[in-house]
Every structure is written in C-alpha cells, then in structure tokens.
Structure 1
C-alpha cells in the first residue's frame, strides 16, 4: 500500500488538492460521510488478516474500489501544499532565518493532512509518473531572527497571537515551481521525486516509501528503509543542503468507527554547511481530552559531522538558537534566546492547499497518473464500484503479467525519468528524460514521446 490522499481527482488542467495524511505517509481508508461504518467494517475485516505481519505495505493485496479515493497516489504526494513557503527558504542572508524558513515550509508541506480526513488512493504502478507545476504570484518575507525588543505584557500577548504576514506580490511574472515523480520500484513500492524552481535557485528531492503495521487497534506508519527524508538544496547559497526526516504516524479509531490521525515521534532537520539542526518532538495527547497535536523543538548549533543528540533535554543550552512550540494542526511559534516572547512562525488555520497546473489530458501519456486511472476515477465518481474494481484489476493484472515476462527474460526494470536508483543515498538523480520533463514544465511545453516500456 502507498501513501494516501483524500482528494478527488479532477481532469481539468488545474486542480486543487485539499487532502490529508501523516508527515511520513499513511495507510488509511477512504471514508466518506455516507456509509462510514460499513466501509470501516470492510476495512477492519481486511486488516485482521495482517495482525502480526511486520510490514503490510510490502504485502500484495488490493483494496476494493469503494474503499479508495479516486486520486492517483503520485498526484497526491508532492509536499508543496503551500509552494510559496518553499521558494522563500533561501531569500534571507541570515543562516538562522533560512533555517526557520525551512521549518515554515515543513509545517505547511502536508497541509492536506490538516484540512482533510484519512483515506486511501490508488496504488502506483511501476513506471507510472506524474508531473505538475505551481505558479506563485506572491512570496513570503524571511522569518526574522532578530531578538524582539522588550515589550509590555499586553504587546507580548498580542505578538504571540499575531497572524502570519500576508504574502507580498512579486510585481512581476509568477514564479514557477515544477514537480516530477515516478514509481521506480514496485516491490518494495518506492517512488522518486524532484522539485525544481530555477528562478529562486532551489530544488528538493527524495524517495517516498512507507512501512506499516496493523496492531489490531491502529495502523502505525513509518518511513521505509529507502525513505531517508526530503533533501532541499539552495543553489544560490553555495549548494546549502537541508535534510528533513519524517516522523512516524498512527491511524487510530478503526474499532470505534471514527478515524483519527496522531503523531508521537521525533524527527530532525539538519544543515551540514551551517551546522544547524532541529529536533522536533511530536507529543502524544491524552485519550481523556481533545487532541492538541502538540510539537516542541530546539534549533541549535552542533559540532562535527554528527552530534548524536536525539532528545531535546540533551541539547546544551549554550548551543540553542531558537525554540519551537505549538500545534502542527494550527499555529506554530518560535522563541529566540534571551526572550520569552513567542513569535508566530506559521498560522495554518487560514491556509488551504494551493492549486496545481497539470498538462491537458489529451497530451498525457498512457502511463501518466491521471490518464492511467481516468476510467477508474470516473467509475468511482459514478458509484459504479463493480466497474471500477474491474478496471482497477485489469491494470493490476497487466502489471503482474509484464513483471512475469521480464522475469522470464531476465530483464531488470529501469526507471525512465530518474537514474537507476541508488536507494541507499536517498537522493535520486534525474535522467536526461527527467531533465527534459522539468524543462518542459517550466516553459509550459508538455510534449513528450511515449515510454518505450511501461510497467502496466
């Protein structure tokens, strides 16, 4: 099973994607307002077969179409719900302000998780790919790392509840951010992605893979062995690189018939060049009270290649550059040394996932996500689940048949848009075709020759 989404797939060239899953991915069921209990009962019956299985994400099984959300997995999985936070990371000349900009991006990258409900998209097929862009018309100012002057308690209180600064119009043509992802492996299911914004000199890449275990009451999802995080590169800052690792997440409430998502884990952001690191501790909420989805963190300077610190309490006080606190569902704040004032990092409440720009259906290739799953999506939207299941099974059977033929001929699968993956590195490299796709996305030229080989 793949990372999930709760958005419905549309077939216009531009579509919004308000949806939800945990920061590390999710294995969850598509649960609509009508028929929730029935769908959860079906899901529970399926999941009971996997109690004790170490990784249900690696098991070959297929969910019935009525439990799926009509959206391709690769379309959903892009980390750019608010692309303006991404392109603003490298704007400041101050290293701490850039680091805080990375954290502002971190808390908005999966806004779909905050605004939607848990659900399950289509499993990606081998060689399936998705491409899109965003045109950003306004940028965010850098996150200020200047220590605030002494203020009255009233002013401090006002500052702590301030709203996120409004984006500033660019006063020129929109800034384009482009995204390409491809399913590079099917067993285990792994996809490579690349995000690029040449105008701002920033890119990001990584592999998406999850591992999941059903405990009997909840599903715990962790990054797979090849998922080493998101790697952001600031090309205009001497190739300053940031590694962002994913925390584990859990989907509970299956037995009660009311799904809920919670995160109780630690993750890290590290910049080897500036020697800045943050430990983010996602805190568990009491089952007696309303979930607050709290997170605490410390940004600090470290020495050497790797300091080995994994707990907030072990960070030397003299090394601290900022503290982070708040709710990853609402508002996040930072506090600078020598001050007790909470300064707003990002307010998620007024934000929604940004619209994406996709090639028109008529120019998409057969193994492009929307084109591949178009008929299945149409059947699900029409609530013709028998037809949707039939069409989905045809795609899955075709993938199995082609895999068996390659095995019989001793042919190894090679991705088209990424170099044959060096998964241990965690940072995929674009192939010549991949570079061509991104160049076309930047210019709006979507012409692309059909793939010589497809996985389904």
Structure 2
C-alpha cells in the first residue's frame, strides 16, 4: 500500500529509542578531536596486518562518529553544477575538460572539511536527494575547448539563462559482506547520468590508513545521451588517511587514475605526486588528455604517451587551483595556461531530501534519527546503545535469511554487485528517481525490510 502524507508506522525499533530514554540519558562532555583520535588509534592498533578493515565493519563508540549516514556522506555531487555541465561543450576535448572539472569538485568535502567517520550503512538502507542548479556559463572569450567557468568571487554559478536544472541522486546498500552500495545520478534535462558501485578496501599500516577501490568498484560511469551516448569511465586513485599520530587527520593522494571515453578516443591520465622534502609538491597533480586506442589501451603513465597524441596538459593543486594548456607543449613552456577550476571559493552544496514524513523507515536520515539526535545532544552513551541495537537487529535478520537459505535482493537496483561495475535500476528505482524529478516523494513500503 502506498504511503500517504505520513510516514509508515513501521520502523527500526530500538528498545532504548523512546522519549523517556532520551529524556533520562546523561549529557556528556564532547571529546576534542585529539582525544577522539587517540581512542580511534587505540582501536585501530588491534587491526594491524588485517588486509581489509572495511570488510570487518567493526563498531565504534558514538563519540567517535560524525552524526551523518554513510550513504548521504559518500556521494559525488558536492558541486552539482559541474556534473550537469559536462556535456555542454560542442567540442570533445571541452567535454573531457568538463568531466575533469566535475572530477576535481566531486570530493570537495575532503578539501574543505576534515575526514570523518559516518555511520556504517545497513543492508537495504537507502538515501535519495535532489538539487536544482544553474548550469555553468561558456564565456565567449574562452578558447573553443574551454568547458565553462565558475564565478570565483562568490562561488555562485555564472549562467547563460535563468533556467535551473534538477539532478537527482539515489543510492542503496546492496550488500553487507562485502559492504557495497550502488548509486545512480540522473539529470533528464541535460541527458546525463552517472552510476557505479561504491566498495572500499582499507588497511591500517600503523601510522595511516590506506584506502583503495574494492573489487566491485570500477569507478564512475557517466553517459551523455545528448552526445550520441558518449560514456566516460572515471577510476579512483588510492588515498592515505594520515595524521593519526599528530592528532590532525589529513588526506593525501600519491597514485594515478584515469578517465576514458571510447567513442571520442580520448583518455586522461592524472598523476597525484608524492610529497617532496618539506612538502614542496604537496597536493600536486599533473596530467594529459590524449588520443588512445580503445582496443589496445596499454598506456598508464604520462611518460608512455607520444607527444603526437597529446591534445592538452593538466597541472595544479587538487586542493587549490587546476590549470590546463592546449597542445603538446610542456606545461611550463605553454603560451597560455587556462584556469580549469578554482576550488578556494567553493563549498559542498546542501542536498534537498524528502520531508521526514515522506521517508520510509529504511531511508538513511530516518533510520539513524535516534542515534543522530543523541549524538547532537551529547548523549553518547544512549547513542552507542541505540546504534548497537540497530546493528544487532541487522545481524539477527541476516542469520534468519541464512537459516532459511534466502538471499537478499536490493529494491532499487537489479543486483547486489551486478552488472559488473555498472548497476541497473529496477522499476522501483526508476519510479523513485522519477518522483525526485517531479517532487513526488511517496513510495510504497517494501515487501520486507532487510535490517529490522
């Protein structure tokens, strides 16, 4: 039965999540960041040598957790206007530059804020949101391969018209072992979609945590329907979460990643450089846009690319400003260095989610509401109890499915980890996205809840 204007009465029932429990719970002093990290480091030391921390999914006390669901936190729409503008340029190189502009803004939360630990997602949990933005402007004075610009004075978008564009986002935790979520981003007005699986592997080295893409994470797949179905695959580099011993968390990247578009035969190699002595190359990234052979894609390093294939060079600081130059001339000698994006004035954009009375019980914000309220109210003991009760309910349901030989099936995506790398939407998934586009948020209750 479809929900009406009110949320379903059924929900994740945590025994301690009652008004009385919240009223009687002790208010505690919030630990500072340094003491949080010392406690976190003490927990991590138990896992030295473990090949994948993410697969263990160990539970942390509430005072070490940021009060935000993982599915909400882990998204790629920190600046939606860069996503909706990827296909605007009439030039293939311009569209690749637009893809790179999206790439350098998709994780703006890590540039502007400290790394945090959100809640672990439970199987069947989902999150949906939408944003309405103005597309980026193509300045008349820019070279034909320039994608667009963001007004750096106030971080507002410079638009060619007053028409705003809506982009919708849907993600669901499709697997618990290993922890995998599927996502789909859709913008019908601009004919652009993105999809993929988020699956991470993490290893504690003793001084830092190394995070890499898991086996089911083949990157972000962006399709431009209005450009004859051009598809771009963006792969993720490895990253290190450091500063555990200093008491100040920071993210560093020293790896390579790639963007490929078989239809235009254009490829990007980005190399994130290791920090030099005294940090001289801190956060530096260099790269190339070049022509490649999709049937014989063997080039993985900048030095392997022939100059005759190079169409543009990329250089800058991935936490500051990124520039490009057209042609194969070495970047330092290029006659013109054009700003691709300036991250300094930009901050992550808040997402619009359905009202709470329109959310289902397994929708992220509603599912974790009691824990979130307890953490914000500094009732950390209560928050830890509530979190553990929710996690235990998930384990109980999982054991019941194992005993009956039942395999959990996601609701919004056709498979937990298939099709490989590129999830497909079910009819319910298509309906949920269509509702977001139209501002119609009612969804039917699922046949079964996976975690309670």
Give your verdict on TM over 0.5. yes
Please show how residues 120-139 of structure 1 align to structure 2 within 5 Å: 120-139=117-136
2:361 aligned residue (366, 369, 372): 366
Pair 1:436-2:426 in alignment: no
1:94 aligned residue (76, 91, 102): 91
Q: Is the 8 A contact 1:379 1:388 kept in 2?
A: yes
1:215 aligned residue (205, 210, 216): 205
Aligned to 1:204: 194
1:421, distance to aligned residue in structure 2 (A): 3.6
Pair 1:36-2:50 in alignment: no
Please show how residues 8-47 of structure 1 align to structure 2 within 5 Å: 35-47=32-44
Q: Is the 8 A contact 2:84 2:135 kept in 1?
A: no
1:259 aligned residue (244, 249, 269): 249
Please show how residues 3-402 of structure 1 align to structure 2 within 5 Å: 35-141=32-138, 145-146=143-144, 167-169=157-159, 171-286=161-276, 288-289=278-279, 292-337=282-327, 339-402=334-397
1:455, distance to aligned residue in structure 2 (A): 1.8
Q: Is the 8 A contact 2:89 2:145 kept in 1?
A: no
Give 3-state SS (helix, strand or coil) of 1:196's partner. strand
Aligned to 1:24: none
CA distance 1:87–1:128, shift in 2 (3 Å) = same
CA-to-aligned-CA distance 1:290-317 (integer Å, 9 cap, x gap): 6631000010001242321111111100
C-alpha distance in structure 2 between counterparts of 1:211 and 1:142, whole Å: 42
Give 3-state SS (helix, strand or coil) of 2:296's partner. coil
C-alpha distance in structure 2 between counterparts of 1:433 and 1:80, whole Å: 22
Q: Is the 8 A contact 1:101 1:142 kept in 2?
A: no
Give 3-state SS (helix, strand or coil) of 1:415's partner. coil
C-alpha distance in structure 2 between counterparts of 1:225 and 1:147, whole Å: 35
Aligned to 1:451: 446
Work out the number of aligned pairs and report it. Answer: 412
TM-score after normalising by structure 1? 0.87
Q: Is the 8 A contact 1:219 1:250 kept in 2?
A: yes
CA distance 1:257–1:287, shift in 2 (3 Å) = farther
1:180, distance to aligned residue in structure 2 (A): 0.2
Instruction: Structure 1 unaligned segments of length 5 or more: list them.
Output: 1-31, 149-161
Aligned to 1:14: none
Q: Is the 8 A contact 2:30 2:63 kept in 1?
A: no
Give 3-state SS (helix, strand or coil) of 1:357's partner. coil
Cα RMSD over matched residues?
A: 2.0
Q: Is the 8 A contact 2:234 2:258 kept in 1?
A: yes
C-alpha distance in structure 1 between counterparts of 2:240 and 2:137, whole Å: 32
C-alpha distance in structure 1 between counterparts of 2:446 and 2:419, whole Å: 26
C-alpha distance in structure 2 between counterparts of 1:270 and 1:396, whole Å: 40
C-alpha distance in structure 2 between counterparts of 1:50 and 1:343, whole Å: 46
TM-score after normalising by structure 2? 0.88
C-alpha distance in structure 2 between counterparts of 1:453 and 1:177, whole Å: 29
